């Protein structure tokens, strides 16, 4: 069996592992018998062990063909972790080479210059999730994307974020206790009336992708220039994608909005003081678009002071009822218009609460890139098309951690 056959077998096993993991998650969600779940779990572990053996055999064969087999009696080097690979200069050069020459995960193992890219995808015995997508971006570029992303003030910073290795799964959550301990007599029977109640929240990450044409001149330029250009572009696209997921989760979980048109100040106070739990209210943030921000900025409180006050910790941010305000564009949080003509009514949503308790944004394997200079319009335009792929999704953990208000705009 040659290297290509071995890599195809690894890819096939990876697909089987992902399918089995999805089946296991569905069994647990639907409350299958524990014996069946344990049997499926055992089968999944066996498949993962087979994957490790196949990857070890592939690596030995690859080293043998490259003349890199360690002689008998020589201490084996400690295998590098995925992070070690991603932050190495060798990986950065290999990534730039793959982008410039259209190398894909399906044939990376056959190129001496790009084998390290496949090593990062399969490190740790996991299935090569990127084999049907692209290569994991180098750590330097990942840092650039994160920096550009922070500059764009993403909504994800207000919510929980978690990186996962499987596209589907679940998390266990417990409900907060509502009663204290019960007084009992000495030697009396201790009651068990407040047992912990656990719930299961599933997550599912779907693939999102985008094609970006890049000039061949840029691909042949310095690696740093290429990384900076790609980081700026894809950071914007990632933020828009994440914002859409989070706004969709907010509007779906909180399908009904409380109108505050008659007395906006009273409605805002009621949401914080009565709707939200006090522990949630103390850590809350307002989320609204530029139109709602402008409308509230024109209002005065009961002491004739502007309703929106400066944040003493950040000069560019405002506070509302002592809580920070996160303003987004109407493209991120669109207004809702009903009717037409003179009878049209436009309303803007205002959310308040603790986003980290409300929902979590799950991302699988980070951001991935692949390229081609042949397909699409690349050949006609003498360019290279880069395909960016991210797999993510949002799961709501506690819908009561946020409140949704509605303000009619003039």
Going by C-beta distance under 8 Å and a sequence separation of 6 or more, which residues neighbour residue 290?
327, 328, 329, 330
> What does the domain layout of the chain look like in residue ranges?
3-69+80-131, 137-173+197-410
Burial 277-294 (b: 16+ CB within 10 A, else e): eeebbeebbbbbbebbbe
Structure tokens at 25: 């998650």
What is the structure's pLDDT at 207? Answer: 92
Q: Which among 12-21, 155-164, 178-187 has the top mean pLDDT?
A: 155-164
pLDDT digits (tens, 9 = 90+) for 91-118: 888 888 888 887 877 776 677 778 888 8
Each residue of 349-399: pLDDT tens digit?
Answer: 999 999 999 999 999 978 888 887 666 676 667 778 888 899 999 999 999
Lowest mean pLDDT among 79-83, 202-206, 286-290: 79-83
Average pLDDT over residues 149-177: 86
Interhelix angle for 89-101 vs 223-253, to 10°?
Answer: 90
Contact 238, 367 (CB under 8 A): yes
Q: What is the pLDDT of residue 374?
A: 67
Average pLDDT of the residues in 113-125: 72
Mean pLDDT (whole number) for 311-324:
90
Q: For residue 407, what pLDDT is reported? A: 97
Position 51 confidence tier, pLDDT thresholds 50, 70, 90? confident
| pLDDT of res. 50 | 84
Most confident of 22-36, 118-132, 261-275, 366-380: 261-275
Buried b / exposed e along 378-408 (16+ C-beta atoms within 10 A): beeeebbbbbbbbbbbbbbbbbebbbbbbbe
- For 137-173+197-410, CATH gives 3.90.1690.10
pLDDT in tens, 265-286: 999 999 999 999 999 999 999 9
Angle between helices 139-151 and 223-253 (to 10 degrees): 50
Note if the pTM is more than 0.85: no
Region 210-232: what's the mean pLDDT?
84
Q: Cα dihedral angle (266, 345, 337, 261), rounded to 10 degrees?
A: 0
**CA–CA dist 280, 326 (Å, integer):** 17
pLDDT band (50, 70, 90) for residue 325: very high
Rounded to an integer, the average pLDDT of 210-236 is 85
């Amino acid at each position: 069996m040659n290297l290509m056959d071995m890599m195809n077998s690894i890819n096939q096993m990876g697909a089987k592992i992902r399918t089995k993991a999805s089946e296991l998650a569905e069994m647990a969600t639907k409350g299958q018998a524990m014996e069946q779940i344990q049997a499926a779990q055992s089968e999944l572990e066996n498949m993962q062990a087979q994957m490790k053996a196949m990857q070890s055999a592939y690596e030995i064969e690859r080293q043998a063909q490259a003349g890199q087999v360690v002689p008998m009696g020589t201490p084996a080097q400690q295998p590098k972790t995925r992070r070690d690979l991603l932050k190495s200069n060798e990986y950065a050069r290999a990534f730039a080479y793959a982008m410039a020459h259209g190398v894909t995960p399906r044939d990376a193992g056959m190129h001496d210059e790009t084998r390290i890219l496949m090593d990062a995808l399969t490190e740790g015995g996991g299935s090569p999730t990127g084999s049907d997508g692209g290569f994991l971006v180098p750590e330097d570029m990942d840092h650039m994307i994160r920096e550009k992303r922070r500059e764009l003030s993403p909504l994800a910073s207000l919510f929980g974020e978690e990186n996962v290795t499987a596209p589907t799964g679940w998390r266990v959550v417990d409900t907060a206790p509502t009663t204290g301990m019960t007084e009992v007599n000495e030697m009396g029977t201790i009651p068990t009336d407040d047992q912990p109640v656990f719930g299961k929240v599933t997550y599912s990450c779907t693939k999102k992708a985008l094609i970006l044409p890049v000039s061949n001149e840029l691909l042949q330029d310095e690696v740093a220039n290429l990384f900076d250009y790609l980081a700026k572009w894809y950071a914007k696209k990632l933020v828009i994608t994440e914002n859409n997921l989070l706004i969709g989760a907010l509007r779906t979980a909180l399908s009904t909005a409380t109108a505050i048109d008659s007395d906006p100040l009273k409605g805002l106070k009621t949401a914080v003081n009565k709707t939200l739990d006090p522990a949630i209210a103390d850590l809350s943030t307002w989320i609204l678009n530029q139109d709602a921000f402008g409308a509230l900025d024109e209002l005065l409180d009961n002491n004739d002071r502007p309703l929106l006050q400066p944040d003493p910790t950040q000069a560019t941010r405002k506070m509302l009822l002592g809580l920070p305000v996160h303003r987004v564009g109407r493209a991120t949080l669109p207004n809702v218009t009903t009717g037409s003509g003179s009878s049209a009514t436009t309303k803007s949503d205002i959310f308040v609460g603790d986003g980290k308790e409300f929902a979590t944004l799950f991302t699988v394997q980070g951001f991935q890139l692949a390229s081609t200079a042949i397909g699409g319009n690349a050949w006609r335009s003498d360019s290279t098309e880069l395909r960016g792929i991210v797999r993510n999704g949002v799961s709501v953990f506690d819908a009561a951690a946020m409140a949704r208000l509605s303000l009619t705009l003039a």
